[in-house]
Structure 1
Amino acid sequence: MPFLDRLQRWADDRPDETAVVVAGTRLTWGRLRDQAAALVPAAPAVTVLSEHNSIRFAVEFAAAVAGGRQCAVLDPAWPVQLQDALTARIAGVGHAGPDPARTPVLTRGTDLVDGPPEASFLIGLTSGTTSVPKAFTRSRRSWQESFDASIEFFGLTQADKTLAPGPLAASLNLYALAECLYAGAEFHTLDHFDVGAAHAAVSHDGITRLVLVPTTLRLLSERGLAGGVDASGISSIICAGSKLDARTLEAARRWAPNATIFEYYGASELSFVSGAGLRPGEAAEPGGTGIGKPFPGVDIRILDDRGAELPDGGDGNICVRSGMVSNGYLWGDDGEALRCFDGWYTVGDQGYLSDGTLHMLGRRSDMIITAGTNVYPHEVEMALASVPGVAAAVAAGMADDLRGQRVVAAVVPSHGAVTATQLKSGIEDVLARNKRPLEYFALAELPLTDRGKISRQLLLDWVNGNDSRIRRLG
C-alpha cells in the first residue's frame, strides 16, 4: 500500500479539512476521496498521466494507483513524439512477464483501495545517456517504507503545511504529495513556478515546510530577503538534487532563521540513502562532501567493483540495503544503471564512509585522473563554492600530455570580480594540494545541457573554443 488506506482514514476523520492546495484552489480530504473514487471504475490497468500541476492531477493520481493498478507520470513539457513513444512502450507493461511485481493485478477494481504490497504501482522514468528515459518500477511496500523513514527523519506532522513549488511530474514533488497524503498533512504547490506566488504562499498560507531543489531555494531566499518576505514560520526545508553550496545555505538561514535545513542523498532507483539536518545556529562544514548518516532502515557499505567491502575512508561504489529499493528496470538498463552485489544495490555513485558519515564524490564517469591521483569534480566544486564571492563552480579534467589530465575550474562570481589568487587561497585548507585546479576561469553563465544539467564537456568546449562566456583568470 502506498497511501490510499490513509487517504480513506483522513477523509473519514477530517472530511472538511484541506488536503491539497494548487495555486490557491483547495480540495478537502472528503472531496479528494470522493472524486478519486468516482474515477476508479474507468481507470485502466496502467495509466499514463501527463498533466501540469492541478487539483485534477492529485485526483487522477490517486485513482490511477487504486487496486493493483500502475501509473506512469510523464513530464507534460516533453516533446509530443517522445510522450507518444513512451506511452506505446508503457502500454505493453501488462505483458512484461510472470514477475508479479511488474504485472498489474486489479483487486476490488471499483474501490479506492490499495493493491498488494509487493505489486508494482509506479513506473518511474529517469533520464539517461540517451534521449529516451529509462523506466523502472516501484512496489507499494517500497514507498510505504520510504514514507515511514522520511516522516521520522524530517519530522513531518499533521500540523505541517508543505510547499513543493516544482512540477508534480518530477519525482521529488510527486513523492512530497504522496508523503503528505500518507501522513495526513496539508500539501501545497503552484500551477507553474513563480517566485512571487511561492512567496505569497509562504506569507499567507502558513507554510511550515519547503521541499525543493537548491537552485529554487537560493532564488526564493535571496529574493525573499530583498523583498522583505517573512519566512520565520518555516520550520523545515528539505533539499535534494545536489549538495547545498555555501551561498545558498547562508541565504536560506537568513531568510528562514527558524528552519532546520535538511539535505540528503538518494536516487530514483534507491530512494533515500543518507541525510543530515542543520539546525538553526548550527555551524556548517565549509566545502565538505559529507551528506549525513544513513536514513532509518538503510544500511550503507562502500564496495569495490568485485563487491568487496572497503575500509573506512576508502572510496568506491556507494551500496545500500533497504526495503526502499526499486524493483528494477523495465527498459533502459545497460547493466550499470542498477547493480547488485549479493543484496547490496548501487547506481554507480562513488563515495566513502568516515565515522558513519557518507561522503559523496560523484559518478565514476566524471572522475579526473591527474598524475595518478583520482579527483572527483564534485569535491573541487564544493570547495570552491565555499569561497566568498563565488556563486557557483564547475570543474573538469582537460587533456594534458604530462599528467594525463589536469584539473581546471570555472566560477560564476556572486558579485563584482574574483581572482585566481582569491580562489587558490580560499581552498587551501579545504582541498588537498594534488586535487586543486591548475587553471581558473570566470563564467558569465553556467554551461548547461538542454535539460538544465551542468555539462563539464561543454565547459571544456568553451575553454578550447575561447568562447565569449568564459574568461581566464590570472
Structure 2
Amino acid sequence: MPFIERLIHWAGVRGRHPAVMVGGASLDYAGLLAAAQEPAAAPGGAASSLAIIDLPPGVDLAAAFCAAAHRRQVAMVLDAGWPAELRGQLAGRARAWAADNHIPQQPDAPGPFLLGLSSGTSGVPKAFTRTAASWRESFAASEEYFHLSPDTVTLAPGPLAASMNLYALGESLFSGGTFVGLPHFSPDAALAALAGHRATRLVLVPTVLELLARRALATGQAAPALSHIVCAGAALTPATLSLVRQWVPHALIQQYYGAAELGFVAASTIQPAPAHAGAQIHALALTHVGGHGDGGGPTPGTGTALPDAAAPNAVGRAFPGVQLAILDRQGVELPAGTRGSVCVKGALVCSGYAWGDDGLAFSTLGGGWHTVHDQGWLDAQGVLHLAGRASDMLLVSGANVYPHAVEAAMAAAAGDRLSDIIVAGIADPLRGRMLVAAFRPAGDGCARKGMPALLRAAVGALPASHRPSRYYELQELPLTGSGKISRQVLAQWIEEGDARARRSS
C-alpha cells in the first residue's frame, strides 16, 4: 500500500516521533502502527473490502485511514461537516459499487485503495478510484519537490476529507514527518497550532492563507519556524502574496495546479523575498521541474491562438514525472501558444469513476492522455497557462465565456488595489446566463468607490458577452467547505439578494 511500508519503517527506527497531532491528541509512529494493525470485523464476522470512514477530524480518523490501508481495504473518507443524509447516501453508493464490482475482501491483487470524492455538476460528489501505485509514485515525486524530511512538521488546516489534506497526511507519513490537523478551523486555532507545534510547512488554499496572514499581522503573531508554504486550488493574488511576505518574508512558496482525478499537473516556486524588496506575482520565477509532451515535437492542429493581452497567469511547468500537452477535440497535439484541453500522461492519474461520471470531467483519450477538460496553452518555454476550468464555462448570449480570462483582465488593471475578483453567471431569460463580477478591494473607501468604473474599463476591449453586466462588493468570500472560492455560492447569494454581495454602482 502507498505508505504502510514506510509507516512500518518509521515505527521501527523512530517509534516515539510524533506522527499525527490534532487538537490535544497525538499518536507517535509506534502508536499509529499499533492502531493500524488492530483487527476489525464487519457485521457477520467477515472482514469487509470497504472502509467507510465517517469520523470528525482527529487522530482517530488518521488511524482509521491507516488501518484501511494496512488491511488492503478500499477507503472512503467522508467529511463530518456534511449533512447526515448526504453521508448516508454516499455510504450506500459505496457499498453498492463494491458489491457490483465484486471488490474482494482483503485483495491480494493490486486494485483500488481509495474512493476519492470530487465535486460534480449535481449536489452529490462523484467518486473516483485510485490505486496505491498512483499515490506511491506521487509521494516519491512530491517528497523531493517539496523538500520533505523526517524533520518536516506539516500543518494542513483544512478538513481531512478534502483530497489535498488527505494526501498531505499520507505524504507526511511517507516521509517520516509530523502531520498537524485542526479539529475545527479558525484563523486563531491555525496560528496557535502553527506556533505550538513549531510547524515548518503549511499546506492550504490561498483564501485560507490570506486569512492566516491577515490575522497574524493584526495580532503580531510571527511564525519563525515556518519555512515552506504549499498552495493549491487557485492562484495567489498580488494582494495575498504581499500580506504573506509581510508575515513570513523568509518562507519558500510553492504553488501547484492539479485535479483530484489527475494528481499534480504543473507547479512553480516563489523564492523568499529579498530583505530590501517586496515580492510581486510578476517577479515570480517559474522553477523548471520537467518537460512536456511525449518527446516529439508539436503536431500541427486546429485551435485558437491567443494574443498575449488575453493570457491569464501562468501556473508552472510540468510536475516531475508528468508529461503535459495541449490537445484539440480530435486529440491532436497543438503548437505552443494555441489553446486547447490540458492533458497529461503519467502514473499519478486516477483509474476512473466509481459513480457520477457526467462526461464533463475526467476523460481518457487516445495515446494514453487524460484530461478533466480544463482549457489552457503552453508557451515556448513549456510553461502552462490556464484559460479556465471546463466546469466554469458559461454560455452567455450563445458565446462560451471562461470567467478566469475575464477575471485576469480586471485583475491586471486593478493590480494590488484589488484583493479578490470573482466572475459568475446568474440566470437570465434573454441571454441564458448574465455575467456578474464581485470584488473585494484591498484599499480604503476611495478605492471602493472607483472600483466598478475601473473594472468596466478593464473589460471594455473584450467582446460584449465577456463584459459583466453588474458589479457587487463582497462583504466576505463565497467559499466551499474546504475553503475554495465558489462561483456557484456567489451566484446563489446574488440571486437570493444576500447582503454578503452588495450591488455596487
Equivalent residue, structure 1, for 2:300: none
- 1:176-233 Cα offsets, whole Å, 9 max, x none, are 1111111111111111112222112222321100011111100100100111111232
Moved more, 137-146 or 350-359: 350-359
Change (3 A) 1:349 1:34: same
Give the counterpart of 1:412 among 437, 440, 448: 440
1:384-399 alignment, distance < 5 Å: 384-385=410-411, 387-396=415-424
Q: Which residue among 133, 140, 145 is the counterpart of 2:137?
A: 145
Q: How far is 1:448 from its partner?
A: 3.9
Contact 1:52 1:167 in 2 (8 A): no
Q: In structure 2, what is the equivalent of residue 291 of structure 1?
A: 315
User: Cα deviations across residues 89-123 of structure 1 (Å, max 9, x unaligned)?
Assistant: 2113333437xxxx34525xxxxxxx65x311001
Structure 1 pair 423–322 and aligned structure 2 pair: CA distance change class (3 A): farther
Aligned to 1:454: 486
Deviation at 1:76, TM superposition (A): 1.4
- CA–CA separation in structure 2 for the residues paired with 1:447 and 1:283: 23
Aligned mates of 2:492, 2:101 — CA distance in 1: 45
CA 53–460 in structure 1, closer or farther in 2 if over 3 Å, else same: closer
Match of 1:309 among 316, 324, 333: 333
Post-superposition shift, 1:469?
3.8
Q: Provide the C-alpha distance between the structure 2 equivalents of 1:274 and 1:352, rounded to a whole number of angstroms.
A: 12
* Pick aligned residue for 1:347 from 355, 372, 394: 372
Residue identity opposite 2:16 in structure 1:
D
User: What is the identity, as a one-letter code, of the residue corresponding to 1:348?
Assistant: H
2:157 maps to which residue?
A: 165
1:412-431 pair list within 5 angstroms:
412-417=440-445, 418=447
Q: Any gaps of 5 or more consecutive residues in structure 1? A: 108-114
The worse-fitting range, judged by mean Cα deviation, of 269-278 and 16-25 is: 16-25
The alignment covers a number of residue pairs equal to 460
- Structure 2 Cα separation of the partners of residues 138 and 407 of structure 1: 37
Equivalent residue, structure 2, for 1:200:
192
User: Which whole-Å CA distance do the structure 2 matches of 1:465 and 1:269 have between them?
Assistant: 35
Q: Does 1:182 align with 2:174?
A: yes
User: Structure 1 residue 19: deviation in Å?
Assistant: 1.0
1:376 match:
402
- Say yes or no: does 1:470 pair with 2:502: yes
TM-score, length basis structure 1: 0.87
Structure 2 unaligned spans of 5+: 274-278, 284-310
2:48/2:105 contact within 8 Å kept: no
Do the aligned partners of residues 175 and 399 (structure 1) sit closer, same or farther apart at CA in structure 2, a change above 3 Å counting?
Answer: closer
1:267 & 1:229 partners in 2: Cα distance? 33
Counterparts of 1:400 and 1:66, CA distance in 2: 52
Indicate conservation of the 8 Å contact 2:435/2:470, yes or no. no
Stretch deviating more after TM superposition (144-153 or 319-328): 144-153
Query: Do the aligned residues in 2 keep the contact of 1:298 with 1:320 (CA within 8 Å)?
Result: yes
Question: Deviation at 1:140?
Answer: 0.3
Q: Which amino acid aligns with 1:6?
A: R
Equivalent residue, structure 2, for 1:338: 362
Taking only the aligned residue pairs, the percentage that are identical comes to 40
What is the deviation of 1:426? 7.8
Structure 2 contact 460–467 (Cα < 8 Å) conserved: no
Asked if the contact 2:49/2:74 (under 8 Å) is kept, the reply is: yes
**Residue 297 (structure 2) aligns with:** none
Q: Please give the residue correspondences for 1:1-400 in structure 2 after superposition, counting only pairs within 5 Å.
A: 1-39=1-39, 44-97=48-101, 103-104=103-104, 106=106, 116=109, 118-281=110-273, 283-285=280-282, 288-342=312-366, 343-354=368-379, 355-367=381-393, 375-385=401-411, 387-396=415-424
CA shift, 1:30, in A, is 0.7
| SS of residue matched to 2:361 | coil
Matched AA of 1:391: S
SS in 2 for 1:433: coil
For residues 399 and 125 of structure 1, what CA distance do their matches in structure 2 show?
28
Compute the TM-score of the two structures, normalised by the length of structure 2.
0.82
Quote the offset at 1:323 in angstroms: 0.4
- The structure-2 alpha-carbon separation of the partners of 1:457 and 1:148, relative to structure 1 and needing over 3 Å to count, comes to closer
- Asked if 1 retains the 8 angstrom alpha-carbon contact of 2:472 and 2:503, the reply is yes
**Structure 2 vs 1, CA of residues 122 and 456 (structure 1 numbering), >3 Å: closer, same or farther?**
closer
> Could you say what the CA RMSD is over the residues aligned between the two structures, in angstroms?
3.2
